[in-house]
């Protein structure tokens, strides 16, 4: 692991910390380290939930614009864009839940990274937006695609074309974030949710994430067929047997992820 990312574990939670304060800018090196961190935690069977947050004042204030001044070919810009898209798509399709805990600024590439996560907790002082048009640019890490899915086409168009930002509570109101907390408690709240999810069986969690992702890409009939297939598979697992028995016996289940 490089120096721009820290990876740690608390019980069954894998914690990825963007560690390049003050802005945690998403340079190409940072994006590569993010990918490496997720690849590492994917293989660690004891890790059941991922929590992503930033060190210092910000979550991530955007892409590293200084890198842009060193590029003189459109093909290189296209490659930079595709790499970010690939890494963020890997996060969106990650088989373990990914919770972004956002404080301070999550702008440009920082917000695009957060939108790739499954759940977003924000602080009241969080500032979220895609201000690329102010620089004569456009989002390059799928921000134009994920933002409309979260907040609707009309609101996304307004935010993209105006370069306006929203604070934490408004982010929740428009569907960009799940919940909002004071800055001093938001990380703890993210960890609390991660611990709650980690108590679930990983088979059912993984299949649920897969099926949720189909809601954007498959017709209802096709998605329903896959849901039935997964339901049959999960219902015959040891975890389902334990869960049903625990319900009957009025006790908490102890899942073994098989």
**Residue of 112, 158, 218, 221 marked active site:** 112
* 101 bridge partner residues: 53, 121
Tokens of 234: 């999960």
CA distances from 229 to 203, 210, 232, 233, 234 (A): 13, 12, 5, 6, 9
Give bridge partners of residue 166 from the DSSP assignment.
Answer: 128
Could you write out the three-class secondary structure of 81-103? HHHHHHHHHHHHCCCCCEEEEEC
Asked about 242 being catalytic, the answer comes back as: no
Q: Which of 75, 132, 170, 227 is catalytic?
A: 132
CA angle 148, 127, 54 (to 5 degrees): 100
Is 132 considered catalytic here? yes
Question: How many CA within 13 A on the CB side of residue 178?
Answer: 16
DSSP string over 125-173: T-EEE--GGGGT----SSHHHHHHHHH-HHHHHHHHHH--EEEHHHHHH
Question: What element of type H or E holds 40?
Answer: helix 28-43
Q: Which residues are catalytic?
A: 112, 132
């Amino acid at each position: 692991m490089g120096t721009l990312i820290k990876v740690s574990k608390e019980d069954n939670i894998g914690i990825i910390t963007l560690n390049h304060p003050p802005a945690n800018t998403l340079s190409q090196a940072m994006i590569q380290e993010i990918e490496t961190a997720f690849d590492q935690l994917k293989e660690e069977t004891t890790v059941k939930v991922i929590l992503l947050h930033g060190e210092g004042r910000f979550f991530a204030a955007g892409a590293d614009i200084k890198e842009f001044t060193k590029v003189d070919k459109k093909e290189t810009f296209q490659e930079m864009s595709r790499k970010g898209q690939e890494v963020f798509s890997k996060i969106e399709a990650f088989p373990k839940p990914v919770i972004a805990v956002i404080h301070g600024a999550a702008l440009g590439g920082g917000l695009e990274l957060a939108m790739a996560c499954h759940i977003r907790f924000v602080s009241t002082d969080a500032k979220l937006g895609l201000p690329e048009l102010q620089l004569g640019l456009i989002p390059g890490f799928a921000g134009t695609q994920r933002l409309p899915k979260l907040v609707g086409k009309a609101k996304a168009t307004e935010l993209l074309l105006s370069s306006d930002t929203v604070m934490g509570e408004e982010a929740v109101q428009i569907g960009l974030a799940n919940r909002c907390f004071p800055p001093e408690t938001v990380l703890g709240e993210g960890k609390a949710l991660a611990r709650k999810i980690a108590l679930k069986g990983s088979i059912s969690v993984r299949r649920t994430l897969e099926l949720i992702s189909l809601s954007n890409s498959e017709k209802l009939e096709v998605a329903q067929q896959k849901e039935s297939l997964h339901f049959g598979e999960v219902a015959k697992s040891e975890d389902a047997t334990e869960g049903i028995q625990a319900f009957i016996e009025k006790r908490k289940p102890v899942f073994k992820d098989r």
